[in-house]
Amino acid sequence: MNINGKIIVVTGAGSGIGRALSGILSKRGAKLVLADMNEAGLTETKASLAAPEHATTVVGDITTSEAREAIRDSAVSTFGGIDILVNNAGVVAVGPLSEAEDSALQLMVNVNLLAPMQLTRDLLPILEKSKTPALINMGSMFGDIAFPLFAGYSATKFGVRGLTDALRRELAPKGISVTYIAPRAAKTGATKAFEHLIEPMKMKLDEPEVVANSIAVAIEKGARSSYPMGPERFFVFMQRLFPSLVDNSIIAQLKSMK
């Protein structure tokens, strides 16, 4: 798919991967509807674009119907429709599940999993009118390999992977391409929540621009999924065929931290 001229909605565009992706898509000629709760962040993202005149911003919480309606109305009134939806917005909380607060768990479920379901549902009637409709869901390597201390986050990303597989099959008759993105952790503001775990758990982090570029490539190729290059792909293979080996490796890492 040629990104030039495509109308693309990007949630979580006010920082991190969302900002980096918006920049890449703008350079490739996309018309952008950028959504985020962070108004100042959205303003900075738009100002950094190669073609800010071809972008509009929507400030709001995508877990609310009001924000989702605003995204829909802004896309239609500004550009006349939507070609691609990128469900990128996400939050993370870490620590033992026994210590997790209800509010943190609920927020992850609402933002990471429920909001993509709802926004996709709300925008499908418009996406179906596009000649080249596509849905891009942001998952995680934690959606394949569940890490201790990330139980709630991993659960939501496993859910996103299942949602994506189901929608790929459900929407295929309508000609809508559906792609699952599974990046490693990226060096964003969210990293602060687990920076104390990066070294002991041997986590490798990518720059947001690296992840964003992989998303753009996946869009252009109409890929089924996108995983990072490197040993993570091998671990995904091992997880699916020999999960006990992955159990033992990760448990050993966890024990070494104590």
Per-residue pLDDT at 249 = 77
Catalytic residue among 79, 147, 150, 153: 153
Q: What is the mean pLDDT of residues 140-162?
A: 94
Question: Rounded to an integer, what distance in angstroms lies between the CA atom of residue 45 and that of residue 49?
Answer: 7
Give the chain's mean pLDDT.
Answer: 92
Percent of the chain scoring above 90 in pLDDT: 77
Establish if 33 belongs to a structural domain. yes
Give the domain range for residue 97. 7-256
Helix axes 16-27, 208-221, angle to 10 degrees: 50
DSSP-assigned letters across all residues of 24-51: HHHHTT-EEEEEES-HHHHHHHHHHSS-
Which pair of tokens denotes residue 59?
């400030």
pTM: 0.92
Establish if 54 belongs to a structural domain. yes
Establish if 24 belongs to a structural domain. yes
Q: What is the Cβ-side half-sphere exposure of residue 155, based on CA atoms within 13 angstroms? A: 14
Residue 233, pLDDT above cutoff 80: no
Contact present, 211 and 20 (Cβ < 8 Å): yes
Which has the higher per-residue pLDDT, 204 or 154? Answer: 154
Residue closest to 11 by CA, chosen among 76, 57, 77, 79: 57
Domain count, the chain: 1
Q: What is the mean pLDDT of residues 27-55?
A: 98
Which CATH number does the domain housing residue 191 bear?
Answer: 3.40.50.720
Q: How confident is the model at residue 212 (pLDDT cuts 50, 70, 90)?
A: very high
Q: What is the mean pLDDT of residues 207-229?
A: 94
Residue 180 annotated to the active site: no
Residue 197, pLDDT above cutoff 80: no
Establish if 22 belongs to a structural domain. yes
Establish if 1 belongs to a structural domain. no
Per-residue pLDDT at 195 = 66
Q: What is the mean pLDDT of residues 214-227?
A: 96
Establish if 35 belongs to a structural domain. yes
Which pair of tokens denotes residue 240?
């699916």
Establish if 2 belongs to a structural domain. no
